[in-house]
Chains A and B, each alone.
Chain A
Amino acid sequence: MANFEALQRKNFRRSLLLVAALFAVLTALVYAVGTFIGGVSSGVLTAFAVVFSAGSSALSWWQSDRLVLAMTKAKIAEPERAPQLHNVVEEVAIAAGLPKPRVAVVDDPAPNAFATGRDPDRAVVAVTTGLLERMDRDELQAVVAHEMAHVANRDTLMMSVAAATAGVIALVGDFAFRLARGSARGGRSRKGGGALLLPVAALAPFAAGLLKAALSRSREGLADATAVAFTRNPAALRSALGKLAADSTVVRARSSSVAHLWIECPLDLSSPLNRLYSTHPPITERIAALWRLEGGAGAPPPTPGYAPDHRDAGAPVRGFGLLVASGALFASGLSAGAYSGVVAAIGQLCMFASPLLAFAAYWRLGKTPAGVRWLPLTRLALLISGAIVAQRLGSVGMLAVGAMLIVLLAGRRRGTGSGTPPQVSADVLSSAVHALDARSAASGPAPKNGVLTDAPVKNTELESWAAAASAKWVKWTIGIAAVVFLTPAIALGLTEINFEIFKIFFGSIGLAVLAPLGPIGLAVLALPIVAVVMVVRRRIKSRRARKDLPSPRASTGVPD
């Protein structure tokens, strides 16, 4: 049993954390550039980027109402033209204790809505004609309440700040990337920062984009909770979201730059890139959260006309974001290592936080069917970052952590713990199974695949798929873990040859610290890489052989 106040607090805390992370990425990047070109010139570069990006974002925030209305082709509607809409907006404004915003209508058959404006006094709430047609009064009220929640939470300002920060990161990152590449080509080496600058410069804008999207998702969750605080009617918002999900029309005047404003993501989610940078949490998750607010237990009742498919049941966006954040922290930690004093201490903290985030990503990805596919990569990240941290801890600490990790992974494989196979959360599973059941009922029993022997075979295709992914990879990751942990232990005392080119190569794949191991260490290191390549090849082959894997789209077309 949850209440909306707790949900509001949770989403608010998450937003704070994400904003902090965004600034951390910026700081790390600026420091990395600083190591490379020196304090003054990096300061000038950053100041230029801040002025340029923050200036344009501030301008678009200041003019947000006019700009967004023009971009979405929304027209301000007079009270005489849309009396009910005006009434509903006024009702919600009273509930929110805000001045009544202006009301706009977008002539578009796709049901959707958005809010914008630089402060509550200049806010605009816009809905499409499709929304007005399809929603009853309570649902319209719920949608408007969600938009008013954005106004009350000042999300236009919040996302402008995020966009400005991400813009600065992109600018500095782009410049730093050219700088680092140019110096690698020229063979110059300044303060040894080049090897670290390249991966940081390449990763930072990517991480900033993901963090921005994650921030947008947390603001959506917050807006849902706040909307319920206004109307005290979670059922209406749930059924409105159900109707939005059931409708497959996509807003015509869409643009990714205003995507975060809409109540439902206006972009086509069949593109994986759009899903990764998704500005909205999966709609099934939002519906489930509202169902819990209503006091319902278990999975929410199915929405008419909407069968949640694979994609929205398990978009692994959050876990993937954590994984990238872990990588970004790792790179930041590496780049700060070139410094001393406070910066180095922060770098150490980043370094130690990296495996924690990787572990969070592992836990998170294991919960969604589509995320399970990313578990091997996550394990690898966990192992590498864990190995580096262990190395910093000294050889004794390293061996201890290594042993712990191996025991942990082995335990997972044997099925002694509670975590075999990676747990798919009950409601995600049931909705995905719902879709799969519909499919197998139409095409006969699903063919079993013979790959999994040591994992318990469950009665759903989905679970056996997850088990297959984990069981096979566990063996290999244990092998790699052993190599990764033994290699530095052996090589620690060996000669330290600083091959700049190796540093750049390994730095770019997040292994920079392993480069100083010298030629012998590198030779040993090549072993697991060869192993990984072999496994990937074999995996691709076996994937081709198994044609029974549910493709994400296959489950949608079958009538229930």
Chain B
Amino acid sequence: MELVLIAVTLVAVLLIGVALYNKLVRLKNAVAEGFAQIDVQLQRRNDLIPNLVETVKGYASHEREALEAVITARNQGVNATTTAEKISADNAITGALRQLFALAEAYPDLKASTNFLALQEELAATENKLAFARQRYNDQVRDLNTAIETIPTRFVAGIANATKAEYFETDEAARAVPQVRF
């Protein structure tokens, strides 16, 4: 009788352990997937920028400085490999784009161009997608970190090889411009 009880308890503990382990693995993968989504959007923005630069050049070619700033930031983004580099490039591109769109205000022909308007909408959407992807990634990081720190998942974190993830933080300048819109 006692042996049965011990066996049942052991099996129950094992099953609970497996469930906790699986939960941690799910959270870990969700964080990885969240970061991949951010990457997709960063890439999309990098692809849109050359088009935008070409369009703006056609109407406002002498705004060299602003155009070059955008291109420099964009190249920095394309070459970024680590998370820290990506975050800093992301902030740089957002700032440079804001500058460029502010300058575009002075060119009525540019503002009336359907090509420019379409690009502007695409970039605004991409900025939003980026913001939402970051938000979701950060939520998932929060869930993972909470699970690693709290009982009972804390006990299996080592076995599941789960380590705390870093938040994707933006600097104040980028946070002030949630989307580009005129």
Return the CB mask of B36-65 against A: 1 if under 8 Å, else 0.
010001000000000000000000000000
Q: Determine if A97 and B136 form an interchain contact, defined as CB atoms under 8 angstroms apart.
A: yes
Chain B residues with CB below 8 A from A230, complex form: 132
Cβ of A475 under 8 Å from chain B: no
Stretch at the interface among B1-9, B81-89, B121-129, B154-162: B121-129
Return the CB mask of B107-122 against A: 1 if under 8 Å, else 0.
0000000000010011
Q: Determine if A87 and B125 form an interchain contact, defined as CB atoms under 8 angstroms apart.
A: yes
A88 to B132, CA, bound (A): 11
A494 to B125, CA, bound (A): 79
A405-441 contacts to B (CB < 8 Å): none
A84 to B37, CA, bound (A): 20
Q: Determine if A90 and B133 form an interchain contact, defined as CB atoms under 8 angstroms apart.
A: no
Using CB atoms, name the residue of chain A closest to B34: A97
A86-114 contacts to B (CB < 8 Å): 87-88, 90-92, 94-95, 97
Q: A87-B125, A90-B125, A91-B125 are in contact. Are A137 and B181 (CB under 8 A)?
A: yes
Cβ of B76 under 8 Å from chain A: no
Which of B37, B121, B181 is A87 in contact with, Cβ under 8 Å? B121
Min CB distance B96 to A, Å, is 22
B122-151 contacts to A (CB < 8 Å): 122, 124-125, 128-129, 132-133, 135-136
Chain A residues with CB below 8 A from B181, complex form: 137
Return the CB mask of A119-163 against B: 1 if under 8 Å, else 0.
000000000000000000100010000000000000000000000
Using CB atoms, name the residue of chain B closest to A92: B132
Q: Determine if B125 and A95 form an interchain contact, defined as CB atoms under 8 angstroms apart.
A: no
Q: Determine if B128 and A91 form an interchain contact, defined as CB atoms under 8 angstroms apart.
A: yes
Find the residue from A90, A92, A95, A232 having the highest chain B CB count within 10 A: A95
Cβ of A83 under 8 Å from chain B: yes
Q: Determine if B37 and A94 form an interchain contact, defined as CB atoms under 8 angstroms apart.
A: yes
Q: Determine if A88 and B125 form an interchain contact, defined as CB atoms under 8 angstroms apart.
A: yes
Chain B residues with CB below 8 A from A94, complex form: 37, 41, 129, 132-133, 136
Min CB distance A141 to B, Å, is 7
A91 to B178, CA, bound (A): 13
Q: A91-B128, A137-B181, A141-B128 are in contact. Are A83 and B121 (CB under 8 A)?
A: yes
Min CB distance B131 to A, Å, is 8
Chain A residues with CB below 8 A from B37, complex form: 94
A90 to B129, CA, bound (A): 8
Chain B residues with CB below 8 A from A90, complex form: 125, 129
A97 to B36, CA, bound (A): 12
Q: Determine if A232 and B125 form an interchain contact, defined as CB atoms under 8 angstroms apart.
A: no
Main secondary structure of the interface of A (DSSP, over half): helix
Min CB distance B120 to A, Å, is 11
Chain B residues with CB below 8 A from A97, complex form: 136
A97 to B37, CA, bound (A): 10
Min CB distance B181 to A, Å, is 7
A87 to B181, CA, bound (A): 14
Min CB distance A331 to B, Å, is 43
A137 to B179, CA, bound (A): 10
Min CB distance B170 to A, Å, is 14
A94 to B118, CA, bound (A): 21
Q: A94-B37, A137-B181 are in contact. Are A87 and B122 (CB under 8 A)?
A: yes
Chain A residues with CB below 8 A from B128, complex form: 87-88, 91, 141
Chain B residues with CB below 8 A from A232, complex form: 135
Q: Determine if B132 and A95 form an interchain contact, defined as CB atoms under 8 angstroms apart.
A: yes
Q: A90-B129, A137-B181, A141-B128 are in contact. Are A95 and B122 (CB under 8 A)?
A: no
A92 to B129, CA, bound (A): 8
Q: Determine if B124 and A137 form an interchain contact, defined as CB atoms under 8 angstroms apart.
A: yes
Chain A residues with CB below 8 A from B135, complex form: 95, 232
Using CB atoms, name the residue of chain A closest to B41: A94
A61-102 contacts to B (CB < 8 Å): 83-84, 87-88, 90-92, 94-95, 97
A22-76 contacts to B (CB < 8 Å): none
A553 to B118, CA, bound (A): 46
A95 to B118, CA, bound (A): 23
Q: A90-B129, A137-B181, A141-B128 are in contact. Are A95 and B121 (CB under 8 A)?
A: no
Using CB atoms, name the residue of chain B closest to A145: B132
Q: Determine if A95 and B136 form an interchain contact, defined as CB atoms under 8 angstroms apart.
A: yes
A230 to B125, CA, bound (A): 15
Q: A97-B136, A137-B181 are in contact. Are A91 and B118 (CB under 8 A)?
A: no
Using CB atoms, name the residue of chain A closest to B181: A137
Find the residue from B41, B122, B124, B128 having the highest chain A CB count within 10 A: B128
Known: A84-B125, A91-B129. 4 other contacts (CB 8 A): A83-B122, A87-B122, A95-B136, A232-B135
Give 7 pairs: A residue, B residue, CB < 8 Å, sorted on A. A83-B121, A90-B125, A91-B128, A91-B132, A92-B132, A94-B41, A94-B129
Sorted nearest first, the 6 A-B pairs with minimum C-beta distance are: A87-B125, A95-B132, A91-B128, A94-B132, A91-B129, A94-B129
Taking Cβ atoms with an 8 Å cutoff, the residues of A that contact B are 83-84, 87-88, 90-92, 94-95, 97, 137, 141, 230-232
